[in-house]
A and B are shown apart, each in its own frame.
Chain A
Amino acid sequence: MNGYRRRHGLLVGALVIGLTASACANGDDSAQSGKVADTSGKAPTGVTLTLWHNTADPTALLDLYKAYERKSGNTIDLVDIPADSFPSTVQTKWATGARPDILEWHGNQVDVLSLNAAKNMIDLSALPFVKKEGTLADVSGNVGGKVYAATVGSLSVDGIFYNKQVFTEAGLQPPQTYAELAADCKTLKAKTPGVTPIFEAGGSQWPPQILSAFDYLAESNTDQAYNRSILDGTAQLNDPNGPFVAGLKAYDSLRKAGCFNSDANTAKWEDSFKAVLSGKAAMVANNSDSIGLLNSDADNDTAKVDAAVGFVGLSATKPVTNYAPSPLGTYYVPSTGDSKKERAAVDFIDYITGAGYADYIKEAKIIPTLSGTATPQLQGLLQDVKSAYDKGATLSFNSPLPGFSSFGAEAQKLLAGQETPQQVADKMQTYYTQAAAAAKQ
């Protein structure tokens, strides 16, 4: 009996030591870290490439994949990642060691870092699209000066979608500052009582971030001034007199004034757009990625959408919009160790930013992110987005800040009245510190 237990114990001990040793060891595939894109020779054909894609991909992107298949003779195996839980699903799958051949993912620096791009992705800096992206290549998919992503999707521009008819009825102009927003809310409650002034979709977790922080801080982040100050430590997120706390306070006062829908905590992103299209809600704070959803809600009648809904950029005291590289249409090439598939994936990147780009832009009718292609005739709502962007646009301040993936849940708590603005800011400062320490390792 004793002998059996002793052997048992030794076996368990050996396994634990083995696990520990393997866990503590550095990745021994150093040959793969810092891998540069291979563009030599002819691209392979007849290869099957797995592509993890966001289910919110507009039709134009899906057609782009098919166009590549036809041109190259390769097959693209699409793996759907639901839009609702997109960041956590991709990171969870990634953490298990699963690697697609092509990854559609956020371009924000922090999101690139969280997948440890320097080790796990192929460096695309030498490819021709980088020059065409211009300054976008510095903010999208960029870590340490190396470009790991190609961004062909339109930029995600944050602002306010408003229902034109409701605003006409209430005799209002679309708001451009938070003070105007609060005043408009008051007027709407008086003049159009059955209409929700601002529809917040707390049930989808990410939308409340836009009105509570991204929009408010747009004007503070010219030339990335604000996020740089956080990164070098000259400012802190939870500075009581700082713009982050001020934005959260402004959001909280909108909530207390009853500007939000009664089911804000459980309403979903899809519901918010149905509401603003039908006129049940006067305003929705969201980004231009959602225009595809609006169009499909109106059975692709873009004229109907343009007549019903407008877009305007707003920030604390100025009409400044903020943008981020959209996850829709930003592609990375993970190192999988299969050089044939990696070569084919690089060929995919070349195609979507080169030969296939013009047709894609023509079909998508979006503002091109790569130079050298003319802007097509845009639908009215997108023209609103473009003029808001041209008026003044800054990078969303969270883009390079580690730890901001926790902000969705904190903004939700603010919306639910569970935390005060200062408490949320204190939490975010801690999250930032935790993640920054992890990212520096």
Chain B
Amino acid sequence: MTSSLHDASPTAAVPVGQPAPDDRPLAANRPRRRLHPYAFALPSIALVLVFFVLPFLANAFFAFVQWTGYSDTITWTGLTNFKLLNQLGILKHAITVTAVYAITAMAVQNTVGLALATALQRSNRVNSLFRSLFFIPVLISPLAAGYIWAAVLNAHGPLNAFLSAVLPGEFHYAWLGHDTTALLAVASIDAWKLSGLITLVYIAGLNRIPEQLLQAATLDGAGAVRRFWSVKLPLLAPAVTFNVVVSLVGAFSALDVVFSTTAGGPGDATTLLNVAVYTQYGQSFFGTASALGFVVTLMVIVTAVPLMSWLRRREVPM
């Protein structure tokens, strides 16, 4: 059910948005009425400007220059940084790794989040306890989470000890030592960390669905599964939009969890774009680091805008 601010409620004497009729002429009211929304928004605009727009513009500029710690001069070089990163194989590989990471994290987060939300939908004591428990990882520092999981997934760590106990023979697989499992592992750790938040958003979305619709579906003969797929899921679309976009775009900017778990290794199997930025920066190649950072921004724009508009279109007004 979407409500509109401009709906005229039948009981209101004056439509919203119009000044109350009084003695002052309308003309004198207009300048004040137009300025004050902007005045309220000004602090936010200033913050966005200083912390997002300006750095973005600076990043966009520095991505196309030759700038290293070796020298003080900064020269415009056009696409040289990108060509060099491509030649070294860094650019393509980092984009691929980031994309796989983001999609895995998004898929795991939303699947687990939705499952947990369905289980914990009702607000009672037990559910509140579990909701809090599943939310705790969200509050842990990402670096701490990475270190803990790196220790758990160690070839001689607790996970392998547990598997050795339940499976026949010794199990000493180095989860973080092989390309595919390392990438899946860090993506899952990121997912584990944020699933609590996704769950809460889904719970809110599920609780918005009117009981009458579900009861009507039950009366019509729909089982639990059918009710979920045909009634709950379509009406969850706003929550899905939010969660999918936030988890996907958030994963593009991942750095701390990956860094503390594998530091981009083994080799470069988990070298996401931001890890590659750090590596370039750490060798005092600031131009190429900015180029990689700029690619992250571009990826977000290219992915988020079409994705959001596609998901918004799926939203069913209640």
Interface residues of A (CB under 8 A from B): 4, 12, 15-16, 19-20, 23-24, 26-27, 85, 87-89, 91-92, 94-95, 113-116, 119, 202-203, 205, 262-266, 402, 405-406, 409, 412-413, 415-416, 418-419, 427, 430-431, 434-435, 438-439, 441
Among A89, A263, A438, contact of B66 (Cβ-Cβ < 8 Å): A438
Q: Within 8 Å CB of A4, what residues of B?
A: 38
Q: How many residues of B contact A (CB 8 A)?
A: 48
Q: Is the CB of B61 within 8 A of A26?
A: no
Q: Within 8 Å CB of B266, what residues of A?
A: 202, 265-266, 412, 415-416, 418
A116 with B61, Cβ < 8 A, contacts A91-B282, A418-B267 known: no
Among B74, B278, B279, B283, contact of A24 (Cβ-Cβ < 8 Å): B74
A12 with B53, Cβ < 8 A, contacts A409-B279, A416-B269 known: yes
Give A204's nearest chain B residue, CB to CB: B263
| Pair count A-B, CB < 8 A | 146
Q: Is the CB of B177 within 8 A of A266?
A: yes
Binds A, one of B82-90, B141-149, B299-307: B82-90
Does B68 sit within 8 A of A, measured CB to CB? yes
In the bound complex, how far is the Cα of B74 from the Cα of A266, in angstroms? 38
Does B155 sit within 8 A of A, measured CB to CB? yes
Does B72 sit within 8 A of A, measured CB to CB? yes
Interface mask (B251-278 → A, CB under 8 Å = 1, otherwise 0): 0000000000011111111000000001
Q: Is the CB of B174 within 8 A of A406?
A: no
Does B58 sit within 8 A of A, measured CB to CB? yes
Q: Within 8 Å CB of A434, what residues of B?
A: 84, 88, 285
- Minimum Cβ distance to chain B for residue A146 (Å): 16
Q: Is the CB of A115 within 8 A of B73?
A: no
Within 8 A of A (CB), among B173-195: 174, 176-179
Does B54 sit within 8 A of A, measured CB to CB? yes
Among A16, A113, A205, contact of B263 (Cβ-Cβ < 8 Å): A205
Q: Is the CB of B73 within 8 A of A427?
A: no
Q: Is the CB of B283 within 8 A of A419?
A: no
Query: Top 7 A-B pairs ranked by shortest CB distance?
Result: A88-B282, A413-B267, A265-B266, A265-B177, A441-B71, A416-B267, A438-B68
- Minimum Cβ distance to chain A for residue B50 (Å): 10
Does B70 sit within 8 A of A, measured CB to CB? yes
Give A414's nearest chain B residue, CB to CB: B267
Q: Is the CB of A95 within 8 A of B88?
A: no
A412 with B49, Cβ < 8 A, contacts A16-B61, A116-B69, A438-B68 known: no
Q: Is the CB of A114 within 8 A of B283?
A: yes
Q: Within 8 Å CB of B265, what residues of A?
A: 202-203, 205, 265-266, 412, 416
Does B57 sit within 8 A of A, measured CB to CB? yes
